[in-house]
A and B are shown apart, each in its own frame.
Chain A
């Protein structure tokens, strides 16, 4: 059973960089076949895809966030990470990591989510 767990600071100051890590257990990122993804949900709102990464390091980002997003992978630790720069209050959200199928990118496994608040 694949499990994903987000970790990182719950509070980030405006203009700084939000950094989160997702640790995958029960399966290897290096085995391929999946896109490892970040999705966020603003309080009381819907779901927004941020981007995803393949184990090889290939990335795909939401065009609306592309200029501020970096997703990276560390296969030795079975982790992938999100960095979102120049954050504002509008980036306050629950951030989820999730697994999506390669080419058929629906999300079958999700982390529990972590609330990140942007505030001084």
Chain B
């Protein structure tokens, strides 16, 4: 089974900072990776799919990159409303869907 490992598990940054969250797959998954944002008490929201394609309506300060085993989610200028837990999810196989353990992002 392919494991997804996110780092860091938690992160504190200041408004306006550039923030990067990493997701690593234990085996190559091409670009079959999505990112979600879950605000406290809310439903997960799709941010990015195919590693780098922004979902409609998502602010352009969010971006994704990577292929194979290493992926990143970047917030170019952190906003207060970005406080959330972020999850990666692999979907290289329809028979096996796995999420990362999550990265909690807070404002410093």
Contact B49 A106 (CB under 8 A): yes
CB under 8 Å from chain B, chain A span 34-51: 35, 46-49
Please determine whether B34 and A106 come into contact, CB atoms closer than 8 angstroms: yes
B contact face: mostly helix, strand, loop, or mixed: strand
Interface string of B29-73 (1 = CB under 8 A from A): 000101010000001111001100001000000000000000000
* B interface footprint on A99-111 (CB within 8 Å = 1, 0 otherwise): 0101111111011
Across-interface contacts of B98 in A (CB, < 8 A): 49
Q: A46-B101, A60-B94 are in contact. Are A113 and B49 (CB under 8 A)?
A: no
Residues of B within 8 A of A106 (CB): 34, 46, 49, 89, 91
Assess whether B102 is in contact with A105, with CB atoms less than 8 Å apart: no
Does A49 lie within 8 Å of B44, measured CB to CB? no
**Interface flags, B61-102, vs A, CB<8A=1, else 0:** 000000000000000000000000001010100111111111
Partner of A112, one of B43, B45, B46: B43
| Given A46-B87, A46-B99, A104-B32, residue A110 in contact with residue B94 (CB < 8 A) | no
Question: Which parts of A53-76 form the interface with B (CB within 8 Å)?
Answer: 60, 62-63
Chain A, Cβ-Cβ closest to B98: A49
A48 and B95 within 8 A (CB): no
Give every chain B residue within 8 A of A80 (Cβ-Cβ).
none
Q: For A110, list chain B residues within 8 Å (CB).
A: 43-45
| A residues whose Cβ falls under 8 Å from a Cβ of B | 35, 46-49, 60, 62-63, 96, 100, 102-108, 110-113
Question: 28 A–B contact pairs at CB < 8 A?
Answer: A35-B94, A46-B99, A47-B36, A47-B44, A47-B87, A48-B99, A49-B97, A49-B98, A49-B99, A60-B95, A63-B96, A96-B44, A100-B91, A103-B94, A104-B49, A105-B91, A105-B94, A106-B34, A106-B89, A107-B34, A107-B36, A107-B89, A108-B46, A108-B55, A110-B43, A110-B44, A110-B45, A113-B43
